[in-house]
Amino acid sequence: ENCRFLFKTFSDRNRYIPKLIHPSRIHIYNPALAMTIHKAQGSEADNVFLMWPEKLTNSAHLNKDVLDFSTYETRLLYTGITRAKEKLDIFTNLQI
């Protein structure tokens, strides 16, 4: 079976990297809750892991210095980011 799960693992340089792992290789695990940004509105969590798509449905104009809040994607990203109370990890292939 080609089933794989996405995990946050340590690299050789002791940095977190995402990695796809086959379920048979998982010996110890901690269950976690996953939800969409829409479902998370109005709630907070100590640690948030945000997976952002490479391609967006609308043309979001994301700039390192200025966020254009007129786009749906930017408002959605802002909502996802502001759910984190202590730690936020964002994984994306989006080139900014």
- pTM confidence score: 0.53
Is pLDDT at 71 greater than 80 in this prediction? no
Is pLDDT at 87 greater than 90 in this prediction? yes
Are the C-beta atoms of residues 46 and 83 closer than 8 Å to each other?
no
What's the pLDDT score for residue 7? 78
DSSP state of 70: T
Are the C-beta atoms of residues 45 and 83 closer than 8 Å to each other?
yes
Of residues 62, 67, 47, the one with CA closest to residue 92: 62
Does residue 16 sit in helix, strand or coil?
A: strand
Q: pLDDT by residue (tens digit) across 17-67?
A: 888 888 888 887 776 677 888 888 888 889 888 888 766 554 445 555 555
What's the pLDDT score for residue 59? 47
Distance from C-alpha of 39 to C-alpha of 64, rounded to nearest angstrom: 27
Are the C-beta atoms of residues 74 and 59 closer than 8 Å to each other?
no
